[in-house]
A = this chain, B = another copy of it.
Amino acid sequence: MNEPVRVFAPASVSNLGPGFDILGLAIEQPGDLVEAEFSDRPGVEIVEITGEGGVLPSVAGVAAAHVLDRIMALRGEKAATPQPGAKLHLHKRMPLASGLGSSAASSVAAAIAVNELYGRPFNGRELLASAVEGERVASGSPHADNVAPCMLGGIVLVRSYEPLDVLCLPVPPDLWVVVVHPHCSIRTAEARAMVFERKYSLAECVANMGNLGAFVGALYRGDLQLVGRCISDQLVEPIRARLIPGFLAVKEAAMTARALGCSISGSGPSLFALSDTGATAKRIAAVMSDAFRTAGGVTSDVYVSRVNTEGARLVD
């Protein structure tokens, strides 16, 4: 029980066009690394943070503490044993406020690391609730569309939040994901407030529902053209696009370069695009990055990968 545990948790793309707060997928890179070691002192102590300017991601501490609380609850009346404690080393390897599920990755990695440290009393699905607690702290809202794919891998749909009920969807093997992160930031809590303060017509809801339902069907059919047609969002993208420098030009560049679909990753400012070959995906990434520079005046990082079907994992 005293061996340190190291966990890598990947970035994720949430919303995926029509699926605000309910769809997300994991990518290969970037990701966070969390190391947990046993501690005699009860509770969670974050002893080290590297990367991202040392900004404290308290979300990881919240998620880890939630796991420890549940371990205590499991022990129940046998609680004469010492209260569990853990020290965390958190290596942030991706930016906060980027739309890449950075806080989710920290939460997931911390939750898994502490769970492993104490003999893995919970499985991945059971740990989701703890990682969601981290998201609640990070954005004021317990959304699960980043933590679920980050924890479980693949493409995940969140059917309901009370109770938390998630569905792992099929991942077409030829599906490639491009994520382009421009060097500016959007605070998730503010971006959420923008879309929650307005109301929507039934026609707007129906448009998203049609694309969402067909997106799920397209994954089961392995129909990548249909997957692409479904990347359409009338609820959130029109509002948030204004926050992203050069949005329209970048999206147009992606579509012209034969992206299957393109929209905002999470709360932005990152955009994602889908493709059916790796070579096309790389071209799409290049033209999107160019467009961010010329139309938006911002430099950017690009990530090109297949969907990460494994999700967070132990590392040596």
Interface residues of A (CB under 8 A from B): 18-23, 157-161, 165, 167, 169, 195-196, 198-217, 220, 226, 229-230, 235-236
Show 7 A/B contacts (Cβ-Cβ < 8 Å), sorted by A: A22-B209, A159-B213, A167-B214, A199-B199, A199-B201, A213-B215, A213-B216
Q: Shortest 8 CB-CB distances between A and B: which pairs?
A: A199-B199, A159-B214, A220-B220, A216-B216, A205-B205, A159-B210, A22-B210, A213-B216
Q: Which residue of B lies closest to A199 (CB)?
A: B199
The answer to whether B217 touches A23, judged by C-beta atoms less than 8 angstroms apart, is no
Most chain B CB within a 10 A radius of its CB, from A18, A169, A211, A214: A214
Shortest CB-to-CB span from A286 to chain B, Å, is 31
Complex Cα distance, B201 from A21, in Å, reads 13
The answer to whether B18 touches A229, judged by C-beta atoms less than 8 angstroms apart, is no
Complex Cα distance, B169 from A195, in Å, reads 32
Given contacts A201-B199, A205-B235, A210-B159, contact A217 B19 (CB under 8 A): no
- Contacting residues, chain B, for A210 (C-beta < 8 A): 22, 157-161
The answer to whether A202 touches B165, judged by C-beta atoms less than 8 angstroms apart, is no
Q: Which residue of B lies closest to A216 (CB)?
A: B216
Given contacts A165-B229, A216-B217, A217-B157, contact A20 B206 (CB under 8 A): yes
Shortest CB-to-CB span from A55 to chain B, Å, is 28
Q: A19-B213, A200-B200, A209-B212 are in contact. List 5 more A-B contacts (CB 8 A).
A: A159-B210, A167-B213, A198-B202, A199-B201, A213-B216
